[in-house]
Amino acid sequence: MRSRPAATRSLAALAFGVWLGWHGSALAQPAAPTHEIPQSLRIEHQETIERLTLLTHHAGAVGAEARKALTLFRAHIAREEAFILPPLTLLPELADGTVTPDMKWALAMCDRVKSEREQIFQEHTQITDAMNALAAAARTAHDKVAQEFAEAAVGDSLNDVELLEPMVLVIGEYLRTKLPAGQ
């Protein structure tokens, strides 16, 4: 991907932009009854969509494959932000040993991740297939930027399957053991 200093500058600028966008939208409209996701993941999602959107403007098969992938990514990111990732915001408190009754909101989301695990896995499979198609088109077109993006996106998708989604399930189980019954 990029060098560490360039990536750090990009992340700092992106974090500031996300902060401004969030605060601006919070002023413009009433707060929705949703739970936030970790800011690092919000930034990652925004960067992924922006980079993939830029790739849709590339000529030929690269642009065509990027357009297909963009549709998949948008749908999956919406799912992640709706119920997969919000429970992860509890991790700092849980790591400190803090469990409070107001964390109960996460249980329904954790249960939904568990019940939709196969469908979520299938989405990741589709994303991996789309990224493999984008990488192949990029190799043929000698488009290094698109190829590097596609290869990194496969790794990100694998991270979700191997770490993030199982973490959500563990959070749910942990909360069940620590919250008083009936809470």
pLDDT band at 5 (very low <50, low <70, confident <90, very high): very low
| Lowest mean per-residue pLDDT among 18-22, 65-69, 73-77 | 18-22
Query: Taking each helix axis from N to C terminus, what angle separates 60-79 and 144-159, rounded to the nearest 10 degrees?
Result: 20
Residues contacting 71, CB < 8 A, separation 6+: none
Half-sphere exposure of 20 (CA within 13 A, CB side): 6
Q: One-letter amino acid identity for 135? A: A
Q: What is the pLDDT of residues 6-21, one digit of tens each?
A: 443 444 444 434 333 4
CA-nearest of 36, 53, 43 to 7 is: 43
Tokens 């969030």: give the residue: 22
Is the pLDDT at 71 greater than 80, yes or no? yes
Cα angle 150, 58, 148; round to 5: 20
Q: What global pTM score does this model have?
A: 0.78
Determine contact, residues 63/56, Cβ cutoff 8 Å. yes
pLDDT at 31: 40
pLDDT at 182: 60
Half-sphere exposure of 44 (CA within 13 A, CB side): 17
Q: What is the pLDDT of residues 76-99, one digit of tens each?
A: 999 999 999 999 999 999 999 999
pLDDT at 180: 83
Average pLDDT estimate for 155-164: 94
> Residue 142: left (phi > 0), alpha (psi -120 to 50), or beta?
left
Give the domain ranges of the chain: 38-178
Distance CA 131, CA 68 (A): 10
Q: What is the pLDDT of residues 95-123, one digit of tens each?
A: 999 999 999 999 999 999 999 999 999 99
